[in-house]
Amino acid sequence: MTDFYEKLLEYDLNPYFVFNSNGRIKSFNKEAEFLLNYVSVKELFQLAVDNASLDFGFSQKYISLKYNKHSYYAILVGYASDEEIALRLYKVVSNQTNNINNEKLKLVNIFSLIELSKNTTLLSSNIKINEVYDISLPEMKININEFLLCLNDCFKYFNNDEEITLKVQIKVGEYEIVNNKKHKIVSLEFATNREVPMNSLLEEKASKANANIFFTRNKLKLELPIIL
């Protein structure tokens, strides 16, 4: 029976971790392993400590969290001794399908749009941009107007920085299902040397451009499906 419950936890869609008193992971499930691609062990341990009950036992809190594309609506923190603490995150699950109106899409070179946006929004800026581009990226269908509005605001977001790195590449091994078809993903990653806070207005504009946007530490990532 113990093995059965261990398997249930292992294949649970909700990630869970058990940390020791030094913040090191003692055990975790498959979903937690995936989550570690987007958030540090230190941050998750601190999340558990900050939300633990004052006495031994369990503490459940409704809290909005987002790591990359995955959102969570609650956490459970439990500990029975000073030697270990457990954290479980409850994932927000949506059954909505991702559909895009192809009539609003035009075939375009994304690097041309990047240059247009950069030259327009940073015309009076002295910012240095280190460009790391995957030139093998093909032309793709984009809602040009909405994408430019979003991209312009991404560049404006770093208008007061002295230097940023812009990396544009195809994500290896990741796909997005659009109109019931699998598409590769292109990532535009803006990296700076400061903390990059979340911006709800940019999230709205990214959604209109059929893109996803993520804020992780010192990076802003804009991702959209490669529709040919």
The residues spanned by each domain of the chain are: 2-91, 102-225
pLDDT, one tens digit per residue, over 139-161 is: 999 999 999 999 999 999 998 89
Parallel/antiparallel/unpaired status of strands 70-81 and 219-225: unpaired
Residue 157 phi/psi, 5-degree rounding, is -60, -25
Fold of the domain built from segment(s) 2-91: Beta-Lactamase (3.30.450)
pLDDT-based confidence at residue 116 (cuts at 50, 70, 90): very high
Cα–Cα dist 94/212, whole Å: 15
What does CATH list as the number for 102-225?
A: 3.30.565.10
pTM across the whole model: 0.69
